[in-house]
């Protein structure tokens, strides 16, 4: 009986862990879909309205491109101003207008260089460690990057792991 109770406790613990992992994976998949759709809408907006109007919309804290913890950021990825930050959302404006080509995350990753490569290859995901503006703590961030077709800049957004 004693072994049965121990086995039951181990089984219940394993089931709880499996359920937690499955829920976390589903939550991450949902966040990825949300971020991808958000960036795709931003790129479409930029194509229709132009860079100047788009940047103004992306920087409006009450606008449609600030969605809870999501905001749009972007950099020039080709030409003489490669790495220049052109939009940074409303929470982290200290980077706006600065060249971030050599910017490194907390672990030394040249994240803008990697983002530029991803944009040049047609878009995709980048992971890096950055300060979460909501918690003020370092956290792993997953960002989705898309180049704006026919332009020299990319747009991106991301979410933090919990």
**Which residues share a beta bridge with 71?**
66
Say how far apart CA 153 and CA 146 lie, in whole Å.
Answer: 9
List the domain boundaries for the chain: 2-160
Cβ contact 147:41 at 8 Å: no
CATH superfamily of 2-160: PAS domain (3.30.450.20)
- Is pTM beyond 0.85? Reply is no
Closest CA to 116 of 65, 160, 64, 154: 154
Tens-binned pLDDT, residue by residue, of the chain (162 aa): 565 555 445 444 444 444 444 445 556 799 999 999 999 999 999 999 999 999 889 988 888 998 888 899 999 988 777 877 787 665 556 667 778 889 899 999 999 999 999 999 999 999 999 888 888 899 999 999 999 999 999 999 999 997
Full DSSP string of 75-132? EE-SSTTTTBEEE-TTT-GGGTTSB-TT-B-TT--BHHHHHHHHHHTT-EEEEEEEEE
Count of CB atoms situated within 10 Å of the CB of 124: 13
Residue 110 tokens read as 């040249």
Contacts of residue 124, Cβ cutoff 8 Å, sequence gap at least 6? 118, 144, 145
């Amino acid at each position: 009986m004693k072994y049965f109770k121990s086995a039951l406790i181990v089984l219940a613990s394993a089931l709880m862990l499996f359920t937690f992992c499955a829920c976390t994976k589903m939550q991450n998949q949902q966040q990825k879909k949300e971020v991808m759709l958000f960036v795709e809408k931003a790129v479409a907006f930029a194509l229709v309205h132009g860079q100047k109007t788009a940047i103004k919309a992306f920087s409006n804290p009450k606008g449609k491109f600030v969605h809870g913890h999501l905001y749009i950021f972007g950099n020039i990825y080709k030409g003489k101003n490669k790495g220049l930050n052109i939009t940074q959302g409303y929470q982290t404006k200290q980077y706006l207008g600065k060249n971030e080509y050599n910017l490194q995350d907390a672990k030394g990753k040249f994240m803008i260089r990697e983002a530029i490569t991803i944009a040049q290859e047609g878009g995709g995901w980048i992971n890096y460690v950055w300060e979460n503006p909501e918690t003020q703590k370092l956290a792993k961030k997953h960002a989705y990057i898309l180049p704006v077709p026919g332009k020299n800049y990319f747009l991106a957004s991301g979410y933090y792991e919990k």
